[in-house]
Chains A and B, each alone.
Chain A
Amino acid sequence: MSEVSFRQRVGALALVAPLALFIALFFVWPLVTVLKESVSDATVSHALPTMVDAAADWNRQSPPTAAMKAALVTDLRGIEDQQLFGDLVRRLNSAQAGFRTLLPKTRTAVDKSRETTAPEAVDLEEIDKRWSNPAYWQAIAGTLSPFTDQHLLAAVDLSRDGTGAIVALGADESANLTILLRTFWVSALVTLVCLAIGLPYAMLAAAMTGWRRQLLLGAVLLPLWTSLLVRTASWYILLQDNGLVNDALQSLGLTDAPLRLIFNRVGVVIAMAHILLPFMVLPIYSVLITIPKTLMPAAASLGAHPLLAFLRVLLPLSLRGVASGALLVFMAAIGYYITPALIGGAQDQMISSVIAFYATGSANWGMAAALGIVLLAATLLLYMVYGWLSSDKTARA
């Protein structure tokens, strides 16, 4: 009897399925790839397959076992792919300096004795006495797992030392934390500027009627419909040393020489605030227009001074819109790439630029992916808070 509704459900699912598949293929899968890339580290386990078993129950404190040494020899003799060997050297060297010379030297030696000496009989310490240093073995053991947290740790300027403990990276080794903090700081600045302009603007728009309101709303919507690149290019033209802003300042006699407005923080914040302002104004406005117009007169009739009425009535009621708007702006800002890349200087590059650099510039997928995961996590967290705020409508309104 419920066959009809069952058929309807199947029909509905069949309609949703094509897009669901498409999104799974071209949206979810790329993100999963990023996630996998950020934790995968298959080079060493791929290059040293017998070592994986041999070192499985080594406690990393005692000297390396004979089986491990034999496994290393077997594996080194087994590597035929020159590219793979290069990757192995790079990977191990990043865990323990010295492998860059040690490994090729050892490989040449064990290759030479391939016909004469069984793997168990090779004396590695004789080839190079660094093999008596447990740090090298610890490095190998530490990189054998196909999964690693090294990229993720490096994304926040941490790493593991030889014993596997998490330690902070030296100040000169990485600047990811600085960039993360800068990203948050610039985004916070942009959010504040948007709030300072957007809140009074939304209140004004909500208080106005007729063409004045239309004008104010249109002025917010028009930029939203305009190409992001056009807006960024425009700011480029306005802010450059001989641009309109500097021309105006000088002809008004406010400055003598051109102010530096582009390729620095000021330009980035101004341009981003302009681009993201609609996302602040619209949520606040949409909350404000639901507030009855009679509320302020009512407060006044109850004896509240206009300022007090504003602070006690209008402001608390608009807070949900403010929170939504601020979250939207902040969320969009931390992932911004184009505007900082075009308007900012080297000191204003945000996390997206660094990710793009790792990915396209230096082909360091692990780091690009790890920083991407950090950015993704921050964004999704903010989005969840935003979703929670906007689904809470009835409870608070």
Chain B
Amino acid sequence: MLKTLQVLFGAAAVFFLIVPLIAILPLAFTSGAFLTYPMPGISMRWFNELVTADAWRRSIVNSLVIGCGTTMLATVLGTTAALGLRGRVVLGGLFRTMFLLPMVVPAVVLGVGMQILFVRLGVANSYLGVIAAHTVVAIPFVVVSVSGSLEGIDRRVERAALSLGASPFTVLQRVTLPLAMPGIASGAVLAFATSLDEVVLTLFVAGPNQRTLARQMFSTIRENISPAIAAAAFLFIVGTLLAAAAAIVLKKQRQRRTGLA
């Protein structure tokens, strides 16, 4: 009796969690103009639309440019800071909290502040401004991820390298960074994903020229929903699955080779 209930509940909950992710996928291939089942036919027209329609194409390019910019900036800043936070920094706890807070503060509030401030700083409606805004919300993921992998490094391994004649910079380069690489890589992936999916700050700080894919999807859903959304969603989900699969394969390989987690 209890067993049956458990199975039923578990199946229903998994269904509730997964189906919304799957339901949208087939519609990417509809030949009709509406996001409804049954589909009148199969076609690639909406993928075509993504790469040919000006608004979509430019938004994809913008997302890639801004995503790459954010990833680089957030990964460099976050990794450096995570390295610094490892030592006994004055006010280390305060810094750590500051770096995590962007995850907590409501995006709309931050967006209002950025909109006012960016105009004064002269970075409103610029790629620089959007990249800075996205980097702020991507930073917590990088800091958490890199800090986590740094914590996993035995300090004695680094001391051993020092005692064997490696200067601190060489230790960083030959020992610390290679060992922290999984954390840095996953931080970078998370930063890119955060940027790709960011809408709220983009609404406040981006001009028409910096319209990102997510922003384009947002206004498409809001104003004139079309199956191009499903095609974009398809790309998103396939991209996520590929990234996850790649991460798992890499991790397995590394584990088999070096026994590292």
Contacts and interface: CB of A to CB of B under 8 A. Distances in A.
Q: Please tell me whether chains A and B touch each other in their complex, using a CB distance cut-off of 8 A.
A: yes
A229 B113 contact: no
A20 interface: yes
B214 A16 contact: no
Given A9-B90, A12-B89, A341-B222, A31 B81 contact: no
A13 B90 contact: yes
Interface residues of B, number: 76
A197 interface: yes
Interface in A331-359: 331, 334-335, 337-338, 341-342, 352, 355-356, 359
A31 B14 CA distance: 39
B222 A31 contact: no
A19 B139 contact: yes
Given A12-B84, A237-B35, A238-B23, A27 B110 contact: yes
A316 to B, nearest CB: 21
Given A16-B95, A274-B20, A229 B199 contact: yes
A383 B104 CA distance: 7
B200 A338 contact: yes
B21 A226 contact: yes
Given A15-B84, A229-B218, A372-B109, A379 B99 contact: no
Interface stretch (B46-54, B153-161, B233-241): B233-241
Interface string A233-258: 11111101011100100000000000
Interface stretch (B130-138, B177-185, B252-260): B130-138
Contacts, number: 246
A271 B214 CA distance: 18
Nearest to B76: A18
B90 A197 contact: no
Nearest to B77: A19
Contacts of B203: 356, 360
A103 to B, nearest CB: 27
A216 B14 contact: yes
Interface string B115-145: 1110000000000000011011001000100
Contact of B14 (A23, A29, A215): A215
Contact of A30 (B84, B113, B193): B113
Nearest to B190: A225
Contacts of B66: none
Contact of A33 (B9, B113, B233): B113
A338 B107 CA distance: 10
A9 B244 contact: no
Contacts of A177: none
Contacts of B197: 227-229
Nearest to B15: A219
Interface size class of A (residues with CB under 8 A): 35 or more
A219 B230 contact: no
Contacts of A201: 9-10, 13
B62 to A, nearest CB: 15
Contact of B114 (A30, A223, A244): A30
B108 A219 contact: no
B221 A342 contact: yes
Nearest to B87: A12
Nearest to B116: A33
A355 B103 CA distance: 19
Contacts of B78: 19
Given A22-B77, A204-B9, A359-B115, A337 B20 contact: no
A259 B193 CA distance: 35
Given A16-B81, A243-B36, A360-B204, A29 B117 contact: yes
Given A226-B236, A230-B24, A244 B37 contact: yes
Interface string B25-43: 0010000000111000000
A9 B87 contact: yes
Contacts of A360: 115, 203-204
B72 interface: no
B188 interface: no
A375 interface: yes
Contacts of B13: 197, 200-201, 204, 216, 219
B164 interface: no
Contacts of A12: 84-89
A48 to B, nearest CB: 24
B98 interface: yes
Most chain-A Cβ atoms within 10 A of its Cβ — which of B88, B92, B105? B105
Given A30-B113, A219-B18, A274-B16, A229 B214 contact: yes
Given A226-B240, A229-B197, A372-B108, A235 B214 contact: no
A31 B89 contact: no
Contact of A337 (B90, B107, B116, B237): B107
B236 A227 contact: yes
Contacts of A240: 35-36
Contact of B20 (A212, A234, A380): A234
A16 B199 CA distance: 28
A242 B79 CA distance: 48
A236 B156 CA distance: 54
A16 B89 contact: yes
A54 to B, nearest CB: 32
A240 B101 CA distance: 36
A127 to B, nearest CB: 38
Contacts of A222: 17-18, 21
Interface of A: 8-9, 11-20, 22-23, 26-34, 37, 197, 200-201, 204, 212, 215-216, 219-220, 222-223, 225-238, 240, 242-244, 247, 274, 277, 331, 334-335, 337-338, 341-342, 352, 355-356, 359-360, 365, 368-369, 372-373, 375-376, 379-380, 383
16 contacts: A16-B95, A26-B136, A30-B113, A33-B117, A37-B112, A219-B14, A219-B17, A226-B236, A226-B237, A227-B236, A230-B232, A231-B21, A233-B217, A237-B230, A238-B23, A274-B16
Given A13-B89, A231-B20, 11 more contacts: A11-B84, A12-B86, A15-B80, A16-B84, A31-B110, A201-B13, A216-B14, A222-B21, A223-B21, A234-B24, A365-B112
